[in-house]
């Protein structure tokens, strides 16, 4: 079994456990107690040790006398995201994921990982960013910096924070610079890159990737700044049993004139300066892998085309409204707005 700072064997004594817990200061101060074969037996905290000593335990006693045998854990291959959310709500900060035999598959720190979404992700980063020239003449738009950080890194960090580890960036324009950028991990993730040999539309590059059966993939534009809840979006996708979930932003159109309602040549009414509300495509999608696997290899395909064809073929397509920040950094004005927003957020966090 891989050595982990949170794992201690059940034969260890309480004094050794106290030393291990002391080294965890500043992080999640919980140990996972396993037997010699790596099966999880219980959890151990400072509080568990204190209660055991008050009952007469000695520091030379085995941790088994102090550990909590009523622990919470994820089990099996399927992760129930709603269950993870409930654990987080209850204040559980260290969550083990167990194999069928009770050994530890993975350990999640819910102080740093807000959720555990069983998704792969593709970030689309092939565009030229022509409206942002001259800034994009030598730098691909996703690598332009907002408050000292590349735009795309904000998105990689947000994906990593909800447990998404398999992230691929689709590149074309100045691809070598994006490859170079991701030679080092971002947010602990080794991001993979692929290159479109020719422009393939807003989702065609997904055909260059092998998609595992039965899963879902999050596809998004890499030049967005957003506070979208990927967890809420995923839960809606699952609850709706959707094939595609489209993130949407409210969009309001105000007409500065009186609008006529008519019946033939007759005016039946007037609406003075009406306002109409719509939902607009935000460039973020959760798509079932069986649909992505059907994309024509190497051909130009836009996300809107895929959505229209899915609706035509009676697949279930739903939308998820974004409640929060969403900025599509397409123009100098958008770039300036994003800079100002991040300065404000950073000042609040000081």
CB atoms within 10 A of CB 3: 5
By C-alpha distance, which of 214, 286, 238 is closest to 80?
238
The reported pTM is 0.86
Tell me the CB-side half-sphere exposure of residue 309, using CA atoms within 13 A.
Answer: 11
Sort residue 163 into left (φ over 0), alpha (ψ -120 to 50) or beta. Answer: left
What distance in Å separates the CA atoms of residue 143 and residue 183, rounded to the nearest whole number? 14
Residues 6+ apart with CB under 8 A from 210: none
Q: Phi/psi of residue 22, each to 5°?
A: -60, -35
Sort residue 206 into left (φ over 0), alpha (ψ -120 to 50) or beta. Answer: alpha
Residues 43/68, Cβ–Cβ less than 8 Å: yes
Angle at 245 between CA 191 and CA 322, to 5 degrees: 85
Identify the sign of the CA torsion 5, 9, 10, 11. negative
Q: Tell me how long the chain is.
A: 350
What distance in Å separates the CA atoms of residue 154 and residue 326, rounded to the nearest whole number? 13
**Residues in a beta bridge with 108:** 95
Sort residue 38 into left (φ over 0), alpha (ψ -120 to 50) or beta. Answer: left
Instruction: Give the residue carrying structure tokens 């204040």.
Output: 91
Per DSSP, 19 falls in state H
Domains along the sequence of the chain with CATH: 7-109 (3.10.580.10), 119-349 (3.90.550.10)
Residues 6+ apart with CB under 8 A from 239: none
Tens of pLDDT along the chain (350 residues)?
345 889 999 999 999 999 999 988 878 899 999 999 999 999 999 999 999 999 999 999 999 999 999 999 998 888 889 999 999 999 898 999 999 999 999 999 888 888 999 999 999 998 888 888 888 899 999 999 998 899 999 999 999 999 999 999 999 999 999 999 999 999 999 999 999 988 899 999 999 999 988 899 999 999 999 999 999 999 999 999 999 999 999 999 999 999 999 999 999 999 999 999 999 999 999 999 999 999 998 789 999 999 999 999 999 999 999 998 898 888 898 888 888 888 877 665 54
């Amino acid at each position: 079994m891989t050595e982990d700072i949170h794992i201690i064997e059940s034969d260890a004594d309480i004094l050794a456990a106290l030393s291990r817990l002391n080294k965890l200061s500043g992080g999640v101060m919980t140990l996972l107690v396993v037997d010699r074969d790596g099966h999880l037996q219980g959890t151990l905290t400072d509080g568990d040790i204190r209660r055991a000593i008050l009952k007469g335990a000695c520091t030379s006693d085995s941790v088994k006398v102090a550990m909590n045998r009523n622990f919470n854990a994820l089990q099996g291959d399927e992760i129930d995201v709603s269950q993870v959310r409930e654990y987080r709500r209850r204040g559980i900060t260290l969550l083990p994921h167990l194999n069928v035999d009770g050994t530890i598959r993975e350990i999640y720190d819910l102080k740093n990982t807000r959720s555990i979404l069983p998704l792969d992700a593709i970030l689309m980063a092939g565009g030229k960013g022509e409206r942002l020239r001259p800034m994009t003449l030598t730098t691909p738009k996703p690598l332009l910096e907002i408050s000292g950080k590349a735009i795309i890194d904000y998105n990689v960090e947000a994906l990593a924070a909800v447990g998404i580890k398999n992230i691929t960036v689709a590149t074309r324009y100045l691809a070598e610079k994006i490859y170079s950028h991701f030679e080092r991990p971002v947010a602990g993730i080794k991001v993979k890159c692929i290159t479109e040999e020719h422009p393939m539309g807003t989702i065609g590059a997904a055909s260059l990737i092998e998609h595992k059966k039965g899963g879902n993939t999050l596809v998004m534009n890499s030049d967005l700044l957003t506070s979208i809840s990927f967890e809420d979006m995923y839960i809606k996708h699952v609850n709706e049993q959707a094939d595609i979930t489209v993130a949407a932003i409210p969009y309001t159109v105000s007409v500065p004139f009186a609008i006529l309602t008519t019946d033939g040549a007759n005016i039946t009414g007037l609406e003075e300066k009406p306002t109409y509300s719509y939902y607009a495509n935000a460039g973020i999608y959760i798509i079932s892998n069986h649909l992505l696997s059907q994309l024509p290899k190497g051909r130009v395909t836009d996300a809107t085309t895929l959505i229209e064809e899915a609706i035509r073929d009676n697949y279930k397509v739903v939308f998820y409204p974004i409640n929060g920040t969403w900025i599509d950094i397409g123009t100098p004005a958008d770039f300036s707005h994003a800079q100002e927003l991040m300065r404000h957020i950073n000042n609040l966090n000081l």
